[in-house]
Amino acid sequence: MRTVPLRYRAAALLAVAVGLLWVAPALSQETVVVRAKLIQGEVPTDPAAPIWNTIAATEFPMSPQVHWQKRIGSVTAKSVKVRGVHNNKQIAFMVEYADPTQDPADAAALEFMVGDKKAHFAHGQPMGQVEGGPVNIWYWRNDTPAAADMSAQGFGTLKKQAQQDVQAKAVWKDEKTKVTFKERKLSLRKDPKGEVVKDPQTGNPIVDEDTKVAEQEVSGVWRVVFTRALTTTDKEDVQIQPGTFPNVAFAVWDGKKLESGDLKEAGSQKAVSSWWYINAEPPPDYSIYLYGLIAVVLAAGVEFVIIRKVKKGQPA
Amino acid sequence: MRGPSLAVKGGILLAAVFVALKFVLPLLTAPLPMSLIYLYLFLTIIGIVVYGTLSGESTEALLGPIFRFLSGEGIGGAVKSARLAVLVLFPLLVGWQTYGGLAPNTQPPAESRTIHPAPPGEFVGLSNPLPNTPENVMMGTGLYAAYCLPCHGPKFNGNGAASDGFNPPPANFADPGTIAMLQESYLFWRIKKGGVGLSVEGHPWKSAMPRWEVELSDDQIWKIIMAEYAGAGQKPRTWE
């Protein structure tokens, strides 16, 4: 057998490497987009519908709301897992998160930008140099059977819209679930003798930080399904076109009653995220394959003609 | 011994330019759009052709191998198989590019945000009116702990307990790319006006950085600035 020359082997290796670079992003775990899969038939309004088991979730970390007053130091929901499906008419999102107790004031919300103007994720608060737009908030609360379709443009402007277009249905289950979150531990640095080490410049004790991604098993899961038409007649609503990437943000409230009688989380004291994306899967467009095929045929034709010309023009 | 012909050298140059623009450049800075990469490749080809057709001899050196390769005459062995591969792959590549150009985007739009857009004029060249005394730094550190630590963290590295849900994440002051390359005046603007005070290139709608003028006085902000530099072990940039 003939050995393959080194430079061809090198070229093959290079081709494989380039190919891998190309497909790698497609294989990585989704972290920024909720992909609403296109399905046939009705979208599921029930969190228990079996179709949800076939949809991959995107998990978004949540922060305690410390961006504006009134703040909160720590929250129950460390992350939300979000799934989506649509059928070209209706879209459904399922927000799933761990909450050990089921309380009347438990609540969750999705937030979207409305129209072409960018809106700040904190209730569309005004921006100094940029003219912002309003936000549309889909809100569910355990003790209110209907979801609320709301609007805001700035703190203190949140209101229920005249036209209500959103439905929600939620189920709490006493089952175990895994949540991943960053665990941070601070400790005073000690020398081998057990003495606290001080910064030679400031004289302050040196604090060491240990951060790791932890997985915790929690009992108690909320699954909240929001449904709405992809597009509505209401100017105050987000309009969702398949194939586009509208922004989305999340909020969750643990409405557990504390001994003081106050709710653990309520109002601005909640778990929040900033903007991420949704994408309603566009319907398959087979004409693209056709155009691709036409391009192949055309390129092959051009190639053929060129070779003919070259062969003719060259002394044999 | 003759070196590789001009055609081969040109091909290698073209491949090198492509790999550099498509794969190496993104490691250093924002990736280039494909259309721009094609433009550069096109310019490279023009360059090669111009260089190759300067004289009759170099024209033959450039075109001869290409013609022979295309016609398949006078070549053999591995080059022959390579020719076959090229002839088959080229139409497929064109088809794939056409498909790729028409297929719907599966990734969200690349939104590259300018981390340090220019500040408004009124915030240029201000200097810290307070002396850098241990007391002021200590008071600033206390304010930092109360207001900034949940996001920017006890180690000033952006790793606060409340940082995880925010995209972009809170700035890491220990990183030489943040406050060490900024003047105190710039920080004063950023802290006072917050994320919503950024210009459009800074994507203010995404920033969780609060607008602290609502809650903190100017003096408090200046003290926090001193504490931030001290805590992160950095010095403000000055123009000497």
Here the contacts of B193-200 (C-beta below 8 Å, separation 24 or greater) are: B193/A128, B195/A120, B196/A120, B196/A125, B196/A126, B196/A127, B196/A128, B197/A127, B197/A128, B197/A129, B198/A127, B198/A128, B198/A129, B198/A130, B198/B117, B199/A129, B199/A130, B199/B117, B199/B118, B200/A129, B200/A130
The domain in which residue A98 lies consists of: 26-177+216-303
Flag whether A35 is in a domain: yes
Does A191 fall in a domain? no
> Rounded to a whole number, what is the distance in Å from the CA of B19 to chain A's nearest CA?
9
Look at residue A106 and tell me whether its pLDDT is greater than 90.
yes
What confidence tier does A39 reach under pLDDT thresholds 50, 70, 90?
Answer: very high
Q: Is A182 helix (H, G, I), strand (E, B) or coil?
A: strand
Q: What is the pLDDT of residue B166?
A: 97
The low-confidence residues of chain B, meaning pLDDT below 70, are 1-3, 239-240
Above 0.90 for ipTM, yes or no? no
A192 occurs within a structural domain: no
Assess if residue A259 is contained within a domain. yes
In CATH, what number is assigned to the domain containing residue A245?
Answer: 2.60.40.1190
What was the pLDDT predicted at A316? 42
- Pair B230, B141: CB distance under 8 Å: yes
Encode pLDDT of B175-213 as tens digits.
988 899 999 999 999 999 999 999 999 999 999 999 999
A23 confidence band (pLDDT: 50, 70, 90): low
Mean confidence (pLDDT) of chain A: 91
DSSP state for residue A57 in the 8-state scheme: -
Cα torsion angle, A314, B1, B2, B8, sign: positive
More confident residue, A287 or A19: A287
**pLDDT band per the 50, 70, 90 thresholds, residue A25:** very low
Q: Do B91 and A297 touch (CB under 8 A)?
A: yes
Residue A253 lies in a domain: yes
**Residue A211, in any domain of the structure:** no
> Greater confidence, A304 or A112?
A112
**Alpha helices (runs of H) in chain B, residue ranges in sequence order:** 6-19, 25-28, 34-52, 56-71, 77-102, 134-147, 149-152, 184-193, 218-232
Beta carbons of A166 and A149 less than 8 angstroms apart: yes
CA distance B209 to B170: 7
Residues whose CB is less than 8 angstroms from the CB of residue A208 and which lie 6 or more positions away in sequence, other chains included: A186, A187, A188, A189
On whether residue A296 sits in a domain, the answer given is yes
CB contact under 8 A, B198 and A128: yes
Each residue of A63-80: pLDDT tens digit?
999 999 999 999 999 999
Would you place residue A1 in the very low, low, confident or very high pLDDT band (cuts 50, 70, 90)? very low
- B215 DSSP 8-state letter: T
pLDDT at residue A166 above 50? yes
Asked whether residue A234 is assigned to any structural domain, the reply reads: yes
Name residue, tokens 């070196």.
B3
The pLDDT of residue A69 is: 94
Q: Where are the domains of chain B?
A: 6-102, 121-232
Nearest chain B residue (CA) to A120: B205
pLDDT of residue B104: 80
- Is B200 close to A129, i.e. CB distance below 8 A? yes
Closest listed residue to residue B145, CA positions, set B213, B220, B50, B79: B220
- At position B150, the amino acid (one-letter code) is P
CA distance B112 to B29: 11
What torsion do the CA atoms of A85, A90, A91, A94 make, to the nearest 10 degrees?
Answer: -80
Classify residue B19 by burial, with Cβ atoms within 10 Å: 0-12, 13-18, 19+: middle
Domain count, chain A: 1
Q: Which two tokens stand for residue B40?
A: 């550069």
Q: Which residue of B has its CA nearest to A246?
A: B108
Q: Determine the distance in angstroms separating the CA of B226 from the nearest CA of chain A, rounded to an integer.
A: 13
Q: Per residue in A258-298, pLDDT tens?
A: 999 999 999 999 999 999 999 999 998 888 899 999 999 99
State the pLDDT at residue B65: 81
Look at residue B1 in the predicted model and tell me its pLDDT.
Answer: 42
CATH topology (fold) of B121-232: Cytochrome Bc1 Complex; Chain D, domain 2 (1.10.760)
Helices (H) and strands (E) in chain A, counts: 2, 14
